[in-house]
Chains A and B, each alone.
Chain A
Amino acid sequence: DTAVSQTPKYLVTQMGNDKSIKCEQNLGHDTMYWYKQDSKKFLKIMFSYNNKELIINETVPNRFSPKSPDKAHLNLHINSLELGDSAVYFCASSQPGTGTYEQYFGPGTRLTVT
């Protein structure tokens, strides 16, 4: 069974559109994240979220918003897409308090904005 899954794997869309990327984890973890990996391969945290708290990286535009219908899901909504949003987006999850810093990553969603 896949621990952290994302859909779609590839997403091609035009500037100005609104799109969503879905993420699900079956690990029972309390915390989920979204990361952005740009063309230079730098991996940057966007959001950290659990049942109690949303932590937002201050550099993330407010066009990006995480939505969590339940503990196992954290979807990423992006409004008014821009060319610079093209990147690979990774979802991840972890269980705080386990004594490790281990995060489990999904396979990524490659977003291309034309």
Chain B
Amino acid sequence: LAKTTQPISMDSYEGQEVNITCSHNNIATNDYITWYQQFPSQGPRFIIQGYKTKVTNEVASLFIPADRKSSTLSLPRVSLSDTAVYYCLVGEHAGNMLTFGGGTRLMVKP
């Protein structure tokens, strides 16, 4: 599985847009990019997945440049409840042995 690199932590304020970038320089052709969110004392929760360009759902947007060597998770107008750890993962659909990196600890302040 491709290795990913994310910032260890980020701070933001309520109402701001937060962008978390993940580097995955050795991403393979068949790999998809997936983001999970984890609150304290809970299991990770799927946020969004994409292969190229842009994907948007009710929670977030995922921007993937043409070379796919990085991706950016965008959280619009964050609230205090968005304080969590965000994990970027890269792998094939068929692959099921997920490898989580250290994640990015997002702290949203009032």
A residues lining the B interface (CB < 8 Å): 4, 31, 33, 35, 40-45, 48, 55, 57, 90, 92, 94, 96, 99-108
| Selected contact of B102 from candidates A31, A42, A99, A107, CB within 8 Å | A42
| Selected contact of A102 from candidates B42, B46, B100, CB within 8 Å | B46
Tell whether A41 pairs with B102 under 8 Å between CB atoms, given A94-B96, A101-B32, A101-B34. Answer: yes
Tell whether A106 pairs with B89 under 8 Å between CB atoms, given A41-B102, A42-B100, A45-B98. Answer: no
B residues lining the A interface (CB < 8 Å): 32, 34, 38, 41-46, 49, 85, 87, 89, 91, 93-94, 96-103
Give the Cβ gap from A4 to chain B, nearest Cβ, in Å: 8
Are B49 and A101 closer than 8 Å at their CB atoms? Answer: yes
Give complex CA distance A101, B100 in Å.
13
Are A31 and B43 closer than 8 Å at their CB atoms? Answer: no
Give complex CA distance A35, B85 in Å.
16
Are A103 and B85 closer than 8 Å at their CB atoms? Answer: no
Are A43 and B44 closer than 8 Å at their CB atoms? Answer: yes
A residues in contact with B38, CB < 8 Å: 43
Are A108 and B41 closer than 8 Å at their CB atoms? Answer: yes
Give complex CA distance A88, B41 in Å.
9
| Selected contact of B97 from candidates A40, A48, A96, A106, CB within 8 Å | A48
Give the Cβ gap from B60 to chain A, nearest Cβ, in Å: 14
A residues in contact with B101, CB < 8 Å: 42
Give complex CA distance A107, B107 in Å.
22
Are A101 and B43 closer than 8 Å at their CB atoms? Answer: no
Are A57 and B97 closer than 8 Å at their CB atoms? Answer: yes
Other A-B contacts than A101-B93, A107-B42, 7 sampled, CB-CB below 8 A, are A31-B96, A40-B102, A90-B43, A100-B46, A101-B91, A103-B44, A103-B96
